[in-house]
Amino acid sequence: MQQLYIGLMSGTSLDGVDAVLVAFGNDEPALLARHYHSFNTPLRSELLALHHPSNNELHRTQIVGNQLAHLYAQSIVPLLQQTGIQAHQICAIGCHGQTIRHCPEHGYTLQIGNAALLAELTNIEVVNDFRSRDIAAGGQGAPLVPAFHDRVLRHPAIHRVIINIGGISNVTNLSPHVPTSGFDCGPGNLLMDAWCDRHLGSAYDKNGAWAATGKVLPDLLSRMLTEPFFTAAPPKSSGRDLFNMNWLTTKLHGDERAEDVQATLLELSCISIAQSIEQYCAGVQEIYVCGGGAHNQTLRNRLTQLLPGSTLQTTNALGVDGDYLEAIAFAWLAQQTIEGNPGNLPLVTGAKHPCVLGAIHPA
C-alpha cells in the first residue's frame, strides 16, 4: 500500500518554502506534487534579524513561528489541489521548520514554525523538531538528509558523492560496501547571497554571472580558510551562527572591489567542497549536485575544474528533482518517525546510537 506524506523545507538560504507530496510504497518514493512559496521581504528580514540577540526576541520568535505555520499551511493547499487528494488521506507532514540557532556544542538547536498550529490549520498530523533527539544522543543534529541519500541514491557498484548546496554546503559519501558518511563543508550560497543583496539589491547572483566578472583575491581566500571549521574533522555541522556577514566583515580590509569579493566567496564554497571530497571521499566516480547552488553555472564549472576525476551532474540525472530533494527527505523522515524507525546516521551526525527523530503533533 502507498502511504502519502508531505514534506516542508525552508533552509538556511531563507528564500522560501519547498513543499512536496510524496507517495511511499515498495519502490522508490514517488513525487506527486511540488510547490514553492517565497518569503516576502519583511518576513525574510525578521528571520535574518532573529539570528542575532536583539530586543524582545523571544516574543518576536513566537510571532514569526506563527506566521511560518500559516505560510506552511498555505504551501500545502496547492499540493492537494494539484492531486485531488484530501487532507485525511495524508499520513503526516514532515516539517523541518526554520533554523534560528544551531548550537550542538551547547546541546541545542532551534527550528521555529509552531507545528501545533500547523496541525490545527491543516487537520494533518505534523512531525517536527527532527534535530533535537540526535543532539540529545551526543550528535550534531545535522546533516540529516544523508540518511535519505543512502536510501534512494546509493548504487551497489558505483562510488557516488552527493553535494547539497543550500545556504550551507554538505556532502554525502556513498561508497559501495562502506557505511554512508557525510558532513557540512562550509558556506554554500548564504555569504554570496548576502553580499549580492548588499551590493546589487538582488537576492542571489543568477548563474554566478556577477562572480564571473570578478577575480579571486588569494589573500582574502587564505584569511577565510583559516577558520577552524574548515580543518575540523567530521562529524561537523554549521550555519548562520558562524558564517554570516559579521564573519565576512572581519576578513575584509575594506578596499576590495565588490565583484572580486563575490568571486572569492564562490571560490571559498568550491574549495571547501572540493577539499572535503578529496580528503574524505577518495575514489569517487560520480558526483551529483542538488540544492539552489546547482543552478549556479559558474560554481558548477569551477567544481568540475577542481574535481577532474569524476563526472558531475545534478541529481535530476538520477530521477530526483534537486530543487525538492530536501523536502522529499523530510517527508521520508516523517514516515520514519511515524513508523518508529531511526532517522539519523550516527556515522554522519556523531550520535551515540540510532534514534527515532522528531516530535509528533496529532491532527
CATH number at residue 236: 3.30.420.40
The mean pLDDT value for 106-117 works out to 97
The reported pLDDT for the residue numbered 227 is 98
State whether 226 and 313 are in the same domain. yes
- pTM score: 0.95
User: Same structural domain for residues 257 and 211?
Assistant: yes
Do 110 and 182 lie in a common domain?
A: no
Nearest 10 degrees: Cα torsion 328, 326, 302, 277: -100
**146 lies in a domain?**
no
pLDDT in tens, 166-205: 999 999 999 999 999 999 999 999 999 999 999 999 999 9
With respect to residue 238, please indicate whether it lies within any of the assigned structural domains: yes
What integer is the mean pLDDT of 128-139?
A: 98
* 27 lies in the same domain as 106: yes
Nearest-CA neighbor of 163 among 272, 248, 242?
272
Report the largest interatomic distance among the alpha carbons of the chain, rounded to a whole angstrom: 62
What is the rounded CA–CA span in Å between residue 264 and residue 262? 5
Kind plus residue range of the DSSP H or E element containing 164: strand 160-165
Q: Are residues 204 and 286 in the same domain?
A: yes
Q: What is the mean pLDDT of residues 136-164?
A: 97
Which band of pLDDT confidence, cut at 50, 70 and 90, is reported for residue 352?
very high
Under the phi-then-psi rule, with left for phi > 0, alpha for psi from -120 to 50, and beta for the rest, what region is 341? beta
Q: Check whether residue 124 and residue 182 sit in a common domain.
A: no
**ω into 143 cis (within 30 of 0):** yes
Residues 185 and 114 in one domain: no
What's the CA dihedral at 317, 322, 323, 327 to 10 degrees? 130
Q: pLDDT tens digits for 224-243? A: 999 999 999 999 999 999 99
pLDDT by residue (tens digit) across 44-96?
999 999 998 899 999 999 999 999 999 999 999 999 999 999 999 999 999 99
Q: Residue 136 is part of which domain span?
A: 3-141+325-361
pLDDT tens digits, one per residue of 258-316 = 999 999 999 999 999 999 999 999 999 999 999 999 999 999 999 999 999 899 999 99
Residues 202 and 234 in one domain: yes
pLDDT for 79: 98
Looking at the structure, do residues 353 and 295 belong to the same domain, yes or no?
Answer: no
